[in-house]
Structure 1
Amino acid sequence: MLNIADTLHHWCREERPFALATIVDVHGSTPLPAGTSAAVDADGNAVGSISGGCVEGEVYELCRQMLAGRGALQRAWFGYSDQDAFAIGLTCGGELEVLVQRIGPATQPHLATALAEMVRGRPTTVAHVVDGPDRLLGATLSVLGDSWIADDVLDGQPTGHVVADRATAQLRAGRTALASLGGDADTCPERLSVLVHGAAARPRMLIFGAVDFAAALSHAGRFLGYRVTVCDARAAFATAARFPHADEVVVDWPHRYLEQTTVDARTAVCVLTHDAKFDIPLLRLALDLPVGYVGAMGSRRTHDERLRLLRENEVTEAQLARLRSPIGLDLGARTPEETAISITAEVIAHTNRASGLPLSQRTGPIHEPTARGLGDGPAIGHTYAAVPVSPPAAQGAAAP
């Protein structure tokens, strides 16, 4: 649901009924992962995709049937059949299970609150009861940070607490899952199936250096779902007007900002300053932090000099092995836009532990099974609401 949260939030605020189709299970090679959603409103407008085109028509019709009153929930399975070349299925050979549910006025105010948090990039889960006693079908609960809210069916009920516990666990994982609950006479005697849409906080991309390459990279990073920060000590260059796609623009010395900001294993640090007085203290710190990616721009000569200076500053060989320098993949990039693609391609490959080779030069499945969970990183095509850019300071940052 995260991939279309922006549009769904808009529809909920308009009290527009819609049908939501979500991939709840996948096997083999499929175009999109579990947790991806598509939706159709009462006027037939569609948003999102669950298969990249293979079964969209069939899913669209299922959504229209839901909106016409033919049930509130339906599961559909799509695979590949050699026996019937004209059957609706996945040409990639994979299998997926889709859950289609109708979202009406009773659920929308509650769902709108959760979707608003999602589009702001805040950790959120939304849980729908999709199987169980009739009185519970469609009941909704959301976990918003450290608290949870529920509709009248689940609020204050023991069953609500059980659903909230599972939704909280999925919030920590940042994943979408179909969970079986209940059967315990003391806590939840009724057996339920609950679809939990998990949305972890957006991963961060920290771009240091307010240069043209940073403007293009901030655009690409935002497109990929990162919460993008551009930082530079020079107030004349670090302005919101120059970086409209950044979530925030910070005027500060790069290493000082990195010392005080929050990072995690999904954070990408991209150093474009190309100036040793900024690069060395910044990289020395970045390579000692538990971030997912550290890259630095520069020529081969700059790279060699940078390594020498980092070693002089007691950066270990193990730490230097983490540094992606010169930054990016070899695409022959020259313009800022091409360079941004080169850098983000390397970030994606590094995040997914992929080779970065052309698929035509590889054999085997295109999508290798990995331990990466839904929400662990951004995905192309995810959309997010605009987030205000913080105003830069009026003057340059004082040297530390």
Structure 2
Amino acid sequence: MPALPLIQHPPWYQLPTHFPNAHLRSAVVIGAGLAGCAVARHLAERHWRVEVLEHRSQIAGGASGNPAGIFKPQVTSEDSHVTHYYKYSYQYFIDYLEKLLEGECSFEHDFCPLLGIDGNPSQTARFIAESNTPTSLKTGWLAPAEFCRAQINHPNIHVRTDIAIASLQDDEDGWRCLDAHGAVLCETPVLIVATGSASIQFQQTRELPLQPLAGQITLLDAEAIQPAVTDIHCDRHFIIPQADGSYVCGATHHRTPSLRVNDADHRANLDACRKLLPRHTIDANKILGGRTSTRCVSPDHLPIAGAVPDFAYYEHAYDSLHHGRPAKSFPPARYLPGLYVISALGAHGISLSPFLGHLLSDIILNSLNDEKAAITELLHPARFHIRRLRRKPADRSAH
């Protein structure tokens, strides 16, 4: 993997080094999408007993349930901590994917090049060809829901669906998940919230600046595109041919969440397809259906992953950051013991979730190496609070 620059954490980004009852090696993950399944798998492979709770009747019922999704590295020419993180994370994803496939896991997928507009090399392909990016950074597509099921197919993982959690409660033994009537649904020493933008429903994670982003995909009949295409095409949108000849196209993005499939988004997806395939005809009468879902992003478009901070403590302990005092004069960070979050994976949940699951399991077990420790500051759940507290009080806003 590419080397990452090493950093020394200031007090507000110092990580927790222990929590009570860690020896029990037991955790509960709320959310059975790509993020939740990835962290569950990584803990299970380290001999933890993991229970995954999902409020829907099946796993991968949100954005992780689309019939197909593309995986590709993030394209950037900058030499920065963020660039190193993306390369490190994507290489981990490819290695993880191949390891799963070498085992007993099975899910629909294909390693293949991604074509751009009118069949030309995509921006991703040009980036890989023109840079020193390893050729092992393959591209392709997979079925996200099958990928989720493959990851939680582990003897140390137990899944419960139709579990509606209304609130979280801490005690000396860890955490309790409660329903709307206050009844205890589960108790655990370690609790991981992996419910996308819905993570802010809990009082302990309400301060996270999570933003929902709704989108719709369009499913096209095998006869919809003439002449037929067999390669994936993508620019800002994508066309993914399926084994039966049909196509998955998309996706639209809206700041206002909507869970209803609508004709306007179908038209937008077809217009995007026509730009990708200007020499082809696309029949709007061959739409088989569509699917809507809500992704989650953060203000800086990086994921949020780590121990959940004690936000009230942060407001008090670091209120004078704007004075420019030396970092060593501030107290160390404080967290809610045993509570963690993984969210804001945006449109890259397939390729980002495995490394984030690995990273979070290392944080929980206090087993980070220096390179991965450098990444935690980029993804720290309190980074937006710290950025705000660096500004003068008169210039601060909510987030």
Tell whether the structures are fold-level matches, with TM greater than 0.5: no
Bigger proportion of residues as helix: 2
Which has the higher Rg, Structure 1 or Structure 2? 1
The answer to which structure, 1 or 2, has the higher relative contact order (CA under 8 A, 6+ apart) is 2
